[in-house]
Structure 1
Amino acid sequence: MRRPADLRRYLSRHRYFAPALLWPLAGILLWLALDAFMASRLQDEKAEAMAAATEQAATRSRSYAAQLLRTIQQIDQLTLSLKLDWEASGAQLDLEQQQERGLYPRSAMLYASIIDRHGDSVSSTLAAFGDASFAGDEFFHYHRTHPDNGLTINKPVKGKRINRQVVRFSRRIDADGEFDGVALVSVEPAYLTTFHDERSLRDGDFISVQLPDGTLLANTEDHAAVRRSYVEAPSFGPTEGTVLEPASKFFDREARIVAWKKLSEYPLVSMAAISETNALAGWQRVAESYRNIMSMATLGIAAFSLTGMLLTARLSWRRQREEVVRQIFRTATEAAQEGFYTMRPLYGRDGKIVDFVYEDCNEHGAALLGTDVRSLRGKRLSQTLDESYRKEIFDLYLHAMETGYYEDEFRVPKISPLRASWVNRRYVRAGDGLAVTLRDISKSKEHELALSRVANTDALTSLPNRHWLGAFLPDALERAARQHRTLAVMFIDLDNFKNINDSLGHEAGDMLLKAAARRLREVVRAADHVVRLGGDEFTIVLEGPHGTEDVARVARQVVRTISAPYELGGVAGQHVNASIGISMFPADGADGDTLLRHADIAMYAAKAAGKGRFEFYQPHLSDSLFLRLAKEHALREAIDKDQFVVHYQPRVSTRAGRLNSLEALVRWHHPERGMIGPDDFIGLAEDTGLIVRLGELVIDNVCAQLAEWGRRGLGPVPVSVNVSGIQLREGGLSAFIAAALARHRIDPRLLEVELTESSVIDKGRATAHELSALRELGIKLSVDDFGTGYSSLAQLQQLDVDVLKVDRAFTSAVGKSEEGAVLFRAIVSMADALDISVVAEGVETREQLHALQSLDCDEVQGYLVSKALPAHEVPSLIARRYLFPASATA
């Protein structure tokens, strides 16, 4: 039997081999953890699959609702047009002839009819099938007994002429206040669903439209409607919703995720259903792969445990030898007041040093790094250093490895783990590694720095002053050049600071400067520097930024934090902005004076561009700065004095030449230069932010003009206005338009908004909100100059717009080459499939018009029809029924 002393010696001698016995236990625990993880992941995957299917169903329902709403609005407009044309023609309307002329859609699933007061069909696009009587139909009886002139949607019935199910949309016709008949548009159920992409639906899924009482109007697959529909008519609660319906609710006993959305303007409900089997199909494949992974993992863990046991046993004897060496080293270094470290280099595959490892250290050295010897030993140098200065230390280690020695005094960054402010560091190559010595010299440096702090600190803000910057910049530039790094100088001026001083006093101005200084310090990194030059001017020096984008990010943060409101002298809500000029080393200058001068020039360019922004220095700024300021001042004054007028250019039907709408085009009536076109000032307005005020002037001008034409009894002609992407991103556009429409009592359908391609594709939250708000107002959206920006035919289906205005470059190519005609035909075909109207811009010749007529283009605009006219010439244009010159349709 072993004595206690012998047992202690035995356990101490073999303590390094004990970890080998942990490998089998670790393998079992790893397998259990992996099994639990796999089970948890399967549950998460299933939940994610159901959530994704739920979101997909909701998206389909909303998408279908939006498409359905546009279709019903068109049908509604068609019934209203039938009613008005019938009343205006004195009951002499020939629908079959009008359809031949292209005034009504040539759809095989949509039929228009006029029914007289006796219930007989007197005119129809289906005249060839003979007359029919509707006197006994429920909808006819309803309109005869109810004076409601609105649209009525009826339940599906078998058509009287086509012997197929149709959905009827009807509107009452009056004559002298008495019932005179019904305007009827009948569509086959498939007409309400054909524009939805059925290829995305799998077996068991469906899209349908129903009445609020659950009556089914149309289904994406009529032959499956009974098999897939509800056993009992569903009920719909809120405006929209999503629910997992059990299998018992469907005839085919298939559980489904069902999403619905009620149309805002009509008593219809769009419904999208995804079968639970389809929703979980991908999850089933994942579950099978997880089972295969577990089988392979079991074999891998067993091999891993066995290998670990063998390797651990082999390494145990090496640790025992290393411990003897450490004990000797520790005895020699623990009594010292310096931190000692032995660093072993790590080499990459190319034979170059990629990192260093702490092989050993004394207790004082570990304490300097805020840890203990055991925790530090074996760590890599890169694991103990912040990324911001890791490369600098690593390069010094490499220098010591190459030269054999390096020593300096080092100011420790706040983010460093070293428990000292200043250290003396000495690196000595020893064999294949480095011997590192760190000595804390914080106290001696503290006294030295206190003396220089008084001379280099701004008394008001406690920031470094101009004197400090003059001494710091040369060293910083030399360091940046040696390390092949960049350096950025940001010149910051507080806009409207003088107003604060003048209105609230110098004490409030001092409070503002202190608050601004605090905010600037919070924005930058600890390794960067904020300096007050004097007055309301500050400088930020960024050392080693990762390109101009990194600098721009900091500049944006400065602009944002400075613009937040201040409370000064008890007065809250005080605002100032920051104009920032930026110069970069070495691109914009090799010395501090040049960099500061160029940053100052860039700052004035930022002020000229509208203040509250930043600009990078460009060589041309020095020459163009004054010219830019003069142009901006003139434009701002023109907006203040409303020196702008609006001209109107017509858009007409391609085949009939009938006026459909007008486009509002702004002109600057300059008091000295005369009439100036938009190409000369719109760009400047967007760059300076003045486009928002200018756009509001144009919108209000157009609404006032529409109101005047309405008072004069001119026919209602919609007008489109161009809107910049900046107006959308700034927010408030939809609210301004809504107020202007209400103020001038204008129907929203008389106003159309033209957008650039980039605005429609922009996924920003503010833009998306504004576009949605404009649609809710009932305003149509159109894409201007399609094909010249970011869109393509492949992206056309993603553009949620009503009108597509094709750029004049495509129009000019139509009559010149077959390729141009083919491309334009492709645009028309895709737009027609997406229910988007196509307008050809820049039509100037009869040949172009004839080519566009053959391509079924909806509308044309250009000098062949008319140039943009001042408002007083538009009434004569509206009075003309057809706008094509006589020779244009020959």
Structure 2
Amino acid sequence: MAEMKAEREHAFEEAMTRAEAYAMQLHRMIEHIDYITLILKYAWEAGSGKVDLEKQRRFGLFPDQSLTYVMLLDKWGDVVGTTLHYRGQSNFADLPSFQDHRARRTQGLIIDGPMIDPRMTKPVICFSRRLENPDASFDGLAVVCVEPAYLLVFRNDKSLAGGDFISLRFTNGTLLATKTETATGRIYRKDPVFRGESGTLVERGDKFLDNQARIVAWKRISGYPLVAMGAISEKNVLAAFSRNVDEARTTVVATSWLIAAFSLIGMYFAFRYIKRKEQAEEIRNTFRVATEAANEGFYMACPIYARDGTIIDFRFEDCNDQGAKMLDRQKEAVIGATLASILPHPYWEEVIHTYRQAMETGFYEDELRVPPQSPIKAAWLHRRYVRSGNGLAVTLRDISQTKEHEQALSSLANTDALTKLPNRYWLSTFLPAKIQQEQTHAKHFAVLFIDLDNFKNINDTLGHDAGDDLLKEAAVRLKSSVRASDHVARLGGDEFTVVLDQVEATEDVARVARMIVKAMSQPFELLGNAGHRVNASIGISVFPQDGNDGETLLKHADIAMYAAKAAGKGRFQFYDTHLSDTLLLKLSKEHALRHAIERDELVVHYQPRVDTQSGRLLSMEALVRWMSPSHGLIYPHEFIDVAEDNGMILQIGEQVVQKVCAQIAIWKSQGLLVVPVSINVTAAQLKNGGFYAYLSGCLKKYQLDPSMVEVEITEASVVEHSQVVMNELDLLRLLGVKLMIDDFGTGYSSLAQLHRLDVDALKIDPVFTSEIGTGRDGETIFKAIVSMAKTLKIEIVAEGVETPRQLQCLQAMACNQIQGYLISPPVPAKDIPALIRKNQLFPAL
């Protein structure tokens, strides 16, 4: 019975050894997969969504290609890159991890599976990481898919006898992969339950599909929601015991009973000793084969005890070549040496403490930045100590290069490439830690949200290079305005954040804000020319009264910044719960407008323009409206300013061009005599430099003559002398598109400048039309504009004509065209055919 007990104890130890070895192996494999997803993430985000997977493959980034492949998914779940050359399913938006990453339910690596991949018709396990835009919004996934067999390549699989198995499962028991001596697949009838980080127990036969009882051990894989298992069949334990018994019986038959009794005892122990010695030697030889070619230093260390039983040092009983090399010694000089004789005293004290801890607990593992006094010439080490019998098995791995990569990747992820300041991603991790720290010490700090006023004008007029120079100089001025203990970050664009540490009074924060406003108001030297100015609008929130989390503090500082802008720019504003609801409404309106553009809720109405003398329909103006499902028709004055502030005007402009061209094509197909339609184009659309290309593309798509579309621009668009704008206008003229100045008379130009504007028509602002027939000076100004325009051969269009008296006066002035509610209000496209057929649109006077 004692021998049977010993065999079972040995089986328990063996099962746990397998589980621990398998867990260590899996940890390294999954760490490598995780590292691949990190590389892909930073390559994606640094390259604005462009990653050369083939180049990464040639550099050896990816593991065994026969059992693994890599995918890059965009924010819609479409495959935009893969190492698997197969044309199959191309959208994975239904992948559970895709939904989790998009909803931010989980941070870091997510593991899916096992599942059947329709591209390979094989089960795969998917490891994925979230990809993000510069504003931290969801941009897709980096995915590494592996077949279960990839994770079942166990170094000690020859030790798996019939019924033994290794298995990889989630911590909740869900199966990922299982391997026996001859097969892979399910073996448990019902998923097991794991209690604790590791353990060993006997599972009854009815727990398994083959009804074999087993000794099962499990080990949690550090850093991941996974468990490695090792199991030994009870049959194998009994078989080993039976072999010993049979040998004993054979010996009894060959000798006398008494001698045999003593001989059996002697032979048994001799056999056990020789067997153990052979096994130990076999293990030692196997260890040498496995470790001598490894990149890890391996040592066997035995403790040296004082008389009172305390450990005072360790002696190295063995080591591999790499271990000796790491200590800069010959192997013979290491074996037999003590820890104290190899390590300098201060460092020895730290190391022996960890050795003692490993002897006490059975295990110790960490990553160490190697101090200068260490004889090991590495920057970083991974240390792992496992108690083995009466000593320690010590593994040292040089992870300096890995740490350098991690630090480089961390720097890339957390640093703004232009200004070298921390970025939005850094701030999203810094603020939660800062809040936790200050809650512990009951301290206050302030968050300043800074936006550069008029920065867009610099970018549009001087170009992006000048804008970049200004942002870099702004970063320098911000850092010089705060203390070394404070933090400055760039959120993106012209937005910065300052975190003021250890705030005692609001006046201290106000003093810093005034310094920043003053520093930013000083002229900037750009492209060799001084005198370029911007201002800073600053919103301030203070922890904890204005928020207990980073997101709330930033949001409240942002709202306060909008209040500063609304108050006149170039100033600062503390957050107040009673800030104007208009600011909050603006933020919600931006969100709603963005959704409106995505859902195609914008519609176009058309207002006729007629000949002033005959009333004949000559052209129409396209006017955008927002058809909100919840609020009905919303007019431009309620959303265009918001669109111009946040850049959505470019998308709106493109939608209007596309809708107008499509509508003209529909009217033509209906056999209508279509008149030209004018489209309002903002300065931002022209400065962006792509309007001509987009318009000409739409004209070609819908097979329209360029004369069917006219472009209305503001005076500001042509007064700024922007080369990009002038190039766009020149291209439009060459295309054959008619150009008109809208709302003339209220902008920056004068009559003396008309000779250089080179436009086909002037649309006089309704403010002048409204004064016609009232006896005021407005009529005189109107006549002067008409006279000058005729001299320059420019047509005149009077906007806002609402009364018969205004019409009569305009006819007397020989104004070319009129537009206004007297003729027709803007109407939906469905009402235009009737107006075209009517043609003469004068009302009955």
TM-score range, shorter chain: 0.3 to 0.5
Higher helix share: 1
TM-score (ref. length: structure 2): 0.39
TM-score normalised to structure 1 length: 0.37
